[in-house]
Structure 1
């Protein structure tokens, strides 16, 4: 379980990226975070694995207070969390398989890191992950020979190989065409259902978020202004997230829940 307790994040230039965020996300949920550019979506995701440190409050993941971890504890914690970026973050001059094997580097003994030699078990895990996302036949192809959608699947396979509890995805389909985007989203949904991994995704494509995610979190001006089932998101809710002012949203929420 992931829990945000009164979380705030202020950048050195005094920009408040997150304000008083309170959330609970259970294991196995598929959550889409939506909102305008600059609303705080990426910051919210990146605070979970300590890519960004919070300024106030607490983030707790499976009873571990994330913001209290130090040094090796942070690195060990991050091994449980897969991170997928819009830019794929792949080494394009080497093979697909070698890119997936990179996920095992942190746990390798020093001599294996130097020689680049991976165990048979690690290679089987990497190939299995490629099979899960449907590109096993590309294992020995150079990454720069793949399409954008195939490269995103390599990034997903690399994450799966480390067997995380949580997958964080920061705009994973932003640079993909509509058909390829849905293929990649199908992979996320399949993995979520078959492995019970939590998927938390920052996404601009609202219609795709509503179609694939079970839960929608709307963020505006660093605040969570909607948190509920995707099936309950109406045009009025979207107008509030994307057009309304925070004061309006809070007022409507109070009326709705008789606060």
Structure 2
């Protein structure tokens, strides 16, 4: 369980990224976080794994106060939380399987990590994770030879190798074409349902958020303005989240002027 209790985040320049956030997210939920650029979507998910520190309130994960962690405790805590980025963050000049194997490095003795020595069990686990996202056949291909969608699947397989309880995804399909974006979202949905992994996705595609997530959190200027089932996110709700700049097809209109 992830619990935000009156959480705020203020940056050194005085900007408030989050204001009085109160949320409870149960294990196994698929949550999409939507809102305009700069509304606080990325800030919200990045506080969960302490990429950003909260400045007020309390944030707990499975009863653990996130801000109380440091050193080895914090590193161990982060191992339970996978993070997917828009830019994939792969080592593009090496093979797909070697990218997935990097998931084991934090838990390896220094000599094995230094020389890239992996056990048979680790290699089998990496191949299993690639199979779960449908690109086992690309295991020994260089990452830079893959399409954008395939690279995002490698990043997802690498995250699965951690055995996470939670996956945070920061605009994971923003750089993909519509067809590929849906394929990647299918992977997230299947992993969520089959493995009971909590998935929190910060996403700017409103239609994908409504079609794939079971719960939608709308954020505007750092405040939660909607939290409920995707099926109940009406046009009126979307207008409140996006300040009237989203059409009936789910396209966000750019601000003029």
When the two chains are superposed, the root-mean-square deviation of aligned CA atoms in Å is 0.6
Within 5 Å, give how 1:69-218 maps onto structure 2.
Answer: 69-218=69-218
TM-score (norm 2): 0.94
Structure 2: segments with no counterpart, 5+ residues: 245-257
Q: Which residue of 2 aligns with 1:253?
A: none
Determine helix, strand or coil for the equivalent of 2:179: helix
TM-score (norm 1): 0.94
Instruction: Tell me the distance in 2 between the aligned counterparts of 1:61 and 1:189.
Output: 22
Instruction: Tell me the distance in 1 between the aligned counterparts of 2:123 and 2:116.
Output: 12
State the shift of 1:72 in Å.
1.0
After superposition, give the CA deviation of every residue in 1:182-230 in whole Å (9 maximum; x if it has no partner).
0000000000000000000000000010000000000000000100000
Q: Which residue of 2 aligns with 1:241?
A: 241
Q: Which residue of 2 aligns with 1:250?
A: none
Equivalent residues, number: 244
After superposition, give the CA deviation of every residue in 1:115-136 in whole Å (9 maximum; x if it has no partner).
1101111111100000000000
Instruction: Tell me the distance in 2 between the aligned counterparts of 1:77 and 1:29.
Output: 19
Runs of 4+ in 1 over 3 A off after TM superposition: none
Q: Which residue of 1 aligns with 2:255?
A: none
Determine helix, strand or coil for the equivalent of 2:17: strand
Structure 1: segments with no counterpart, 5+ residues: 245-259
Q: Which residue of 1 aligns with 2:251?
A: none
Structure whose residues are more often helix by fraction: 1
Q: Which residue of 1 aligns with 2:6?
A: 6
Q: Which residue of 1 aligns with 2:55?
A: 55
State the shift of 1:30 in Å.
0.1
Instruction: Tell me the distance in 1 between the aligned counterparts of 2:110 and 2:140.
Output: 25
